[in-house]
Amino acid sequence: MIIKSIALNNFRQYKGAQPPILFSTDKEKNVTVILGVNTSGKTTLIQAFEWCLYEKVNFKTREVLNIEVAKSMDLYTTQEVFVEIVLIHEDREFTIRRTQKFTKSDADKLKIEKSVLKIQYKEDNGEQQAVPSYECDSTINKILPEALSDYFFFDGERIADINNRGDVVAAVRGLMGLDVVGEAKDRLDPNKASSVTAKFSKELDVGSDQKNNKLKNDLTDAQTKLDALNTRKNEAKDEIEYYERRKEELSTQLLANKDEKHNQERKLSLEKDIAQIAKNIENAENRIVKDFSVGALKFFATPLIYRAMKVIDEAKYNGEGIPEMRSAAIDFILERKKCICGCDLSKNEGARENILFEQSLLPPQHLGTVLHTTKDTYKRYLDESQGLYETVLGNHTEYRNNRNYLNEKMDELKNVSAKIQGNIDVAKIEQDYQKNEKTLKDKRDLLLKISSDIGAAEKEIAEIEKTIERLTIVSDKNERLRKCIAYAKAVYEWLKVGYDKQEKEVKERLLESVNNIFERMYHGKRHVTINDRYQIVLMTLLDNDEVKTDESKGLEAVKNFSFISGLVDLARQKAHKGNDVTDDEDIPVNTEPYPLVMDAPFSNADEIHINNISKIIPEIAEQVILMVMQKDWEFARPALEHKIGCSYSIEKINNSDTNSVVRRTM
């Protein structure tokens, strides 16, 4: 696939109809450079490709209509956004245009119509033919499947995780055409109940004996069981891959947060201490307030009480009355003329006079009793206020000490908190790690069990097939079916052997290609390996042992570039080899050379790496379209200059972020 041009109309910051950007299709000068400052619209160009082909956009606001155009629209008027790409695929020119209409239906509202995709292609005689609308999506898929597009249209930010994505295996198999072989293989697999081979087998005539015919049902059941087991096996493998990836992620996080863990534990302990100290302070405060409320009056009245008691002691009064006795009580006794001892007061004048004397000692006639009672009260007050000072002082000391302790702990907490980065909860990561380990073990055990069940199911199928084969009656129909089965099995074997061979070869060649490219981009002791998930791992020699190494952002960019470049290189090599069946041994894989369309590819690389990357890209890709910042371009230019077929510059109109134009500079 080679891209000839792209034309934009009102797409994001490209206001109005823009002249088409023509890309270099020259095999030698295969690089097109588009220079632009930040926010000028470099990323928008990449997004324009993806919107046109797959209606995919990564903008925060999903609307593709230019903001200035949207704002200036009159009520009930319509504006159109379109992106048109012209490309060559399998020697045929395609014009792909996606259009979307926007109507101002309200003062603040735009009615957005569904986008429409139209594809035309040029016949050999030069006539344009339209692809029926219902076939447009499948035509795009034919040209560049959406799942693979991220590997050819990418920006500097996305390249960072391009090799860590879960779909790398599928993408590599897809690019190398292995998925086609895989699908074909599955459809002929004799062990699959729904396969061509199994369907032929089902039709074999084993006579009218019910027992014999039951065997065919048993075979289907065993094949269905095996199908389910294989599906489960693949799921279990995917799950194991997921949990292995998760294990790696969690280990990396734990390693990176070793100090963080200590700090977080200290923080937790400090927070607990602080809560306890605050409680102690509150308790001391409460005790002080309570003691003070109860004892303050008596405490502060102590000097006055002493003085009052002295006055009472010095007061001259004769005798004291009966405590708590009231004068009214005496009046009552006198009136009833009977003493509490039972003496008749009307007949005993002496007793009556004695009672009258006692009455004279009682208030209000006499103060002696009152003073006596008051003195007792004062003594009680003095007793109660004794020790209040010491108690309050003790509580206050405890309060003050706790306050100081609290300040110390708060300062330490502040320091520890400052050291803790972000909101990483290391204890939670550790918990997740342990949980992940357990799940991983369970899944591995499950895989072992499924594999053993698969072995048993395959054996069962083979035995049933053998029995059916033995029971099959001799007839023309059966003869024909047996031939069909034999051909189906032969094609299946060819695909199976070819698939395994191709996959092994792809891996070996990809590793070789990626390593070659990596070595040309990076001059150091590291090299790369590719694991079973087609992920690149950087390795270095340490005491004669191969060990995994850390990656800086720049090195990560180089690593990922090597991976993408290796893939593109391999696809191109295979495409040039041809796609037709040439002999019985080799399966032709369906590949096509692809262009590399990259936005800010150098943003994380240093000047040496930019130079190295620039030297390699035009060699491995059929066509290169680069959106670059001026500052990066200075380092890339020396290596790329002789490969440039076209160059453009994006200019902001009136320095606006919403109106840019692409001008050709070469």
Partner 1 sequence: MESNNEQKIELNPDSLKILKNRIYLMERENHKTKKYKDNDMVERIRKLIEAEVDKNDN
Rounded to an integer, what distance in angstroms lies between the CA atom of residue 310 and that of residue 175? 111
Residue type, 424: I
Strand, coil or helix: what is 93? strand
Q: Segment near partner 1 (CB under 8 A), from 101-109, 220-228, 485-493, 646-654?
A: 485-493
Structure tokens at 568: 């593109």
Asked whether position 474 contacts partner 1 by CB under 8 A, the answer is: yes
Is the CB of 93 or the CB of 412 nearer to partner 1? Answer: 93
Is the CB of 196 or the CB of 219 nearer to partner 1? Answer: 196
Q: Segment near partner 1 (CB under 8 A), from 311-319, 360-368, 477-485, 647-655?
A: 477-485
Q: In this chain, which of 484, 511, 639, 661 binds partner 1, going by CB under 8 A? A: 484
Provide φ and ψ at 78, rounded to 5°: -120, 140
Rounded to an integer, what distance in angstroms lies between the CA atom of residue 219 and that of residue 468? 9
Q: In this chain, which of 275, 584, 654, 655 binds partner 1, going by CB under 8 A? A: 584
Q: What's the Rg (C-alpha) of the chain? A: 47
Asked whether position 199 contacts partner 1 by CB under 8 A, the answer is: yes
Structure tokens at 264: 């977080």
- Going by C-beta distance under 8 Å and a sequence separation of 6 or more, which residues neighbour residue 296? 388
Name the one residue in this structure whose structure tokens are 């007792």: 376
Asked whether position 587 contacts partner 1 by CB under 8 A, the answer is: yes
Is the CB of 207 or the CB of 455 nearer to partner 1? Answer: 207
Is the CB of 153 or the CB of 200 nearer to partner 1? Answer: 200
- Going by C-beta distance under 8 Å and a sequence separation of 6 or more, which residues neighbour residue 168? 533, 534, 535
Asked whether position 483 contacts partner 1 by CB under 8 A, the answer is: yes
Strand, coil or helix: what is 86? strand
Q: Segment near partner 1 (CB under 8 A), from 59-67, 140-148, 150-158, 227-235?
A: 140-148
The 98-137 site mask, x for binding partner 1 (CB under 8 A), equals -------------------------------------x--
Asked whether position 200 contacts partner 1 by CB under 8 A, the answer is: yes
Asked whether position 487 contacts partner 1 by CB under 8 A, the answer is: yes
Asked whether position 189 contacts partner 1 by CB under 8 A, the answer is: no
Asked whether position 490 contacts partner 1 by CB under 8 A, the answer is: yes
Peptide bond into 364 cis (omega under 30): yes
Asked whether position 491 contacts partner 1 by CB under 8 A, the answer is: yes
Q: How many CB atoms lie within 10 A of CB 49?
A: 23
Q: In this chain, which of 161, 183, 238, 550 binds partner 1, going by CB under 8 A? A: 183
Residues 413-472 that bind partner 1 (CB under 8 A): 469-472
Q: Which residues sit opposite 540 in a β-bridge?
A: 547
In the complex, minimum distance from the CB of residue 486 to partner 1, in angstroms, rounded to a whole number = 4
In the complex, minimum distance from the CB of residue 478 to partner 1, in angstroms, rounded to a whole number = 8
Rounded to an integer, what distance in angstroms lies between the CA atom of residue 481 and that of residue 205? 9
Q: In this chain, which of 207, 387, 455, 524 binds partner 1, going by CB under 8 A? A: 207
Is the CB of 90 or the CB of 282 nearer to partner 1? Answer: 90
Asked whether position 494 contacts partner 1 by CB under 8 A, the answer is: yes
Q: In this chain, which of 120, 141, 224, 391 binds partner 1, going by CB under 8 A? A: 141
Which of 221, 238, 232, 76 is closest to 168 using CA atoms?
A: 238
Structure tokens at 367: 């103060």
Rounded to an integer, what distance in angstroms lies between the CA atom of residue 464 and that of residue 487? 20
How far is C-alpha 394 from the chain's CA centre? 55
In the complex, minimum distance from the CB of residue 127 to partner 1, in angstroms, rounded to a whole number = 22
Which whole-number Å values give the CA distances from 451 to 189, 232, 236, 437, 462, in the listed order? 18, 10, 10, 21, 17
User: What is the sign of the dihedral through the CA atoms of 36, 41, 43 and 45?
Assistant: negative
User: What is the sign of the dihedral through the CA atoms of 226, 227, 232 and 238?
Assistant: positive
Q: In this chain, which of 439, 516, 573, 590 binds partner 1, going by CB under 8 A? A: 590
Interacting residues with partner 1 (CB under 8 A): 135, 138-139, 141-142, 145, 177, 179-181, 183-184, 187-188, 194-196, 199-200, 207, 469-474, 480, 482-484, 486-488, 490-491, 494-495, 580-581, 584, 587-588, 590
